[in-house]
Structure 1
Amino acid sequence: MARTIVIEAAGGPDMLTMVDRDVADPAAGEVRIRHRACGLNYIDVYQRMGLYPLTLPHPLGMEASGDVVAVGAGVTHLKEGDRVAYASMPPGAYSEERVMPAAQVCPLPDGISYETGAAMMLQGMTVEYLFHRITDITKDDRVLFHAAAGGVGLIACQWARSEGIELIGTAGSDEKCALARDHGATTCINYRDTDFAPHVKEITGGAGVDVVMDGVGKDTFDPSLDCLKPLGFMISFGNASGPVPPVDLLTLAGKGSLKLTRTTLFTFLADHDRCQAMARHLFDKVLSGDVEIRIGQTFPLEDVADAHRALESRQTTGSTILTL
């Protein structure tokens, strides 16, 4: 039996319930993992609220680290006793132990702790694909990144700095802006004090940025388009403030033949080889010191509802983990 956080109905943090669940032996292509720590991410909130529907009841959690305790037939890249970390479907990481598909489970280098492994996989591989797998972003390009003091944002600030990319961040307080600058943002705009779009144009001498990376959604989408230079690329990868309303394609034409995509990490992770390559790239960044994973908050697994409340109220900085 393993303590596991499940929801039986969509709704607020009070819907999160701890239960004891049986853990089966792994079938072909699966592994059984004993978790050491679990990550907290906004996709967990979307699933809990029903924005991303699940068949209920269902366990939650998309990210964790731990040890392989059993391996099913046909799994060749992992063995019993391996240290591992993952960000993967299906949900179920908020648990002491689970069985899951092995393809997206990644060997965790000895130089990276379990806590860091649980805090970095979903957010870190999100940054990896944003900078390397959508459009060419090269040294001296300018990127506007929203929520730059969050878990994804702080990794993005460091990633950009390590590759000579000018990252302009936005955040909701002067303290969060300072944190983003400390982690590599060239500048950071407090969006509560100023309209960020005119400020971005001022910073760039009227030219605009090459790419916008927006995980906030509804509140930032429209003014973000005004921050792009002609032929610029808008990458929408989340909706923390709510889904983006329907977009008139002629708006993109009128603002300079802009390009737009709505991405999700799990499309990129679906291919085993690409997933493992993305993880290795992330691990190399961390082991080299180019990226330091900042764990801003830690909650016991049984306090997961409090963790969700903190995340939704934007009281968190960096990554948040659940301990077992």
Structure 2
Amino acid sequence: MRAVQVTEFGGPEVLALVDLEGPRPGPGEVVVEVAAAGVNYIDLYQREGVYQAPTPFTAGSEGAGRVVEVGDEVRDVAVGDRVAWLMVPGAGYAERVVVPAERCVPVPDEMTDADAAAVMLQGVTVDYLTRSTYVVSPGDDVLVHAAAGGTGLLLTRACTQLGARVIGTASTPEKCRAAETAGAVATVQYGDGVDVAAEVRRLTDGRGVHVAYDGVGASTRTASLDSLRRRGTYVLFGQASGAPDPVSGPDLNKRGSLYFTRPTVVDHVVDRAELLERCERVFAAVRDGSMVVTVAATFPLAEAAEAQRLLASRRSSGKILVDPRH
């Protein structure tokens, strides 16, 4: 069985295509033949050693495919079922992976494996960001950084459908247009000395936004804080540009009694019931067209390093996948 493993911490070059014995399920586990694996920033952080795990380990933690074997004590998942999963370490860039049965989500017949893999982490993230972390309401002004990225496009569309007015940031005119197509009423192209916060305040008649969704981190932290209105909420949910400086009490106080939160997906799918509830909402949104899955690129297993390089470059617009069947 082929798999891509991290043999030591470092750049994309440390990803190694290896042959392993096929996995066997333990109690409560299933083996899945992977049809599509998601490529996410957490994969980069784990490869770089920011989030450390004993090496070697198989890269990736999100995907979709068909169950080929079940272990003891498995009740709700059967051989032949199409399933998807997220945040299962080691269950990604490989032809076959082991997944706890309780983390398997049924994939609807009308949804492709690629779409299911593409929407699991990002779709669930958008669900909790807009329904739990900050409840987006009609009339809200919302700032979405990296609005043309995989999560950014979904988040922009979701906030728009909830009645919010979205201002997106992006790095190129093409990405700005993609964000506007997803529903952003305005975009700010950052770089070359552009004062993002000043532009956001201009676009909101000086008031600022109710919430700033920031998956970029270091390079956008200050702009996020400075774009908020009094009692606004800064939601830091990623660090694509690196870890930002800490947010202090005075940072929040002097800008108008702001709120700051750093949510993670694991705290929003704490049990199977919550996982299924969020995924059912996400899959329903995909089926009715209110959530549009955009796959930017799909790479064969042997080119997993290139997939991660593309993600790190922030040149893509949409989700990046690895197809272990090729």
Does the CA contact (< 8 Å) of 1:23 and 1:99 recur in 2?
Answer: no
2:10 and 2:47 in contact (8 A); partners too: yes
Q: CA deviation at 1:310?
A: 1.2
Q: Does 1:261 align with 2:257?
A: no
Aligned to 2:106: 107
TM-score by length of 2: 0.96
Counterpart-to-counterpart distance in 2, 1:300 and 1:24? 21
1:248, distance to aligned residue in structure 2 (A): 1.9
C-alpha distance in 2, partners of 1:62/1:143? 30
1:220 counterpart = 2:257 = no
Encode CA deviations 1:106-126: one digit per residue, 9 max, x unaligned: 000011101111111111111
- CA deviation after TM superposition for structure 1 residue 22, in Å: 1.9
Matched with 2:279 is: 279
Q: How does 1:1-324 map to 2 (within 5 A)?
A: 2-193=1-192, 194-323=194-323, 324=325
Q: 1:261 deviation in Å?
A: 0.8
Aligned length: 323
Other structure's SS at 1:198 match:
helix
- CA apart distance, 1:90: 1.7
Aligned-CA RMSD value: 1.2
One-letter code of the match for 2:74? V
> Structure 2: which 5+ runs fail to align?
none
Letter in 2 for 1:55: P
Q: Equivalents in 2 of 1:47, 1:58: separation in Å?
A: 10
CA distance in 1, matches of 2:23, 2:242: 37
* TM-superposed deviation, 1:245: 1.5
SS at match of 1:61: coil
Contact 2:237 2:263 in 1 (8 A): yes
TM-score (norm 1): 0.97
- Render the CA deviation track for 1:181-217: whole Å, top value 9, x for unaligned: 0111121110125221000001111111111110000
Deviations 1:269-314 (A, max 9, x none): 2321111111111001100110110111111111011111111112
Q: CA deviation at 1:104?
A: 1.8
Residues 143 and 211 of structure 2 are in contact (CA less than 8 Å); yes or no, is this contact kept in structure 1? Answer: yes
Contact 1:297/1:319 (CA < 8 Å) preserved in 2? yes
Superposed CA offset, 1:126-171 (max 9, x none):
1111101212221121111110000001111221222222111100
Q: Higher mean Cα deviation, 113-122 or 132-141?
A: 132-141
**What is the distance in 2 between the residues matched to 1:158 and 1:246?**
30
CA contact (8 A) 2:214 2:236 kept: yes
What displacement does 1:88 show? 2.0
Conserved? CA contact 2:136–2:159, under 8 Å: no
**Is the partner of 2:146 in helix, strand or coil?**
coil
Amino acid at match of 1:182: T
For residues 266 and 18 of structure 1, the distance between their equivalents in structure 2, rounded to whole angstroms, comes to 29
Is this contact kept in 1: 2:133–2:263, CA < 8 A? no
